[in-house]
Amino acid sequence: MFKKNFAISVILGVLSIISSCNKKGDTGPAGPSYTGAISGHVSLYDQYGTKVITNYGGVALAHDGGTSMYTDNTGYFIFGQLSTGDYNIAAKGNGYAATKANSFQFLSDT
């Protein structure tokens, strides 16, 4: 029953951009809290690892801050009005296994 359970690869561009912002070592005192957005595109892969190039619309996304939404027909999404911090984003598409991307760091100007 491994039909399409090999799944949603969430937010490849966002993952590479945001994960590259990790600070190492002493981060010093806490700074001000900023607001902004996390946006990107969802990529879908079939059970063989081949990228699917259609039907990106309607992938359900949610982050641990409580906001949920669906991607548009191109797979684009945007979570707006987020405060700085770490976020976990979960995705579930019709006929695809659920996927969770952990520890996206949202920092000002990143």
Compare 17 and 99 and report the one with higher pLDDT. Answer: 99
Per-residue pLDDT tens over the stretch 84-93 = 888 999 999 8
Within-domain flag for 3: no
Within-domain flag for 68: yes
CATH number at residue 91: 2.60.40
Distance CA 109, CA 34 (A): 9
Name the band, by pLDDT with cuts 50, 70 and 90, for residue 109.
low
What is the residue range of 41's domain? 8-21+33-106
For the question of whether the overall pTM of this predicted structure is more than 0.85, the answer is no
pLDDT of residue 60: 94
Half-sphere exposure of 105 (CA within 13 A, CB side): 13
Within-domain flag for 28: no
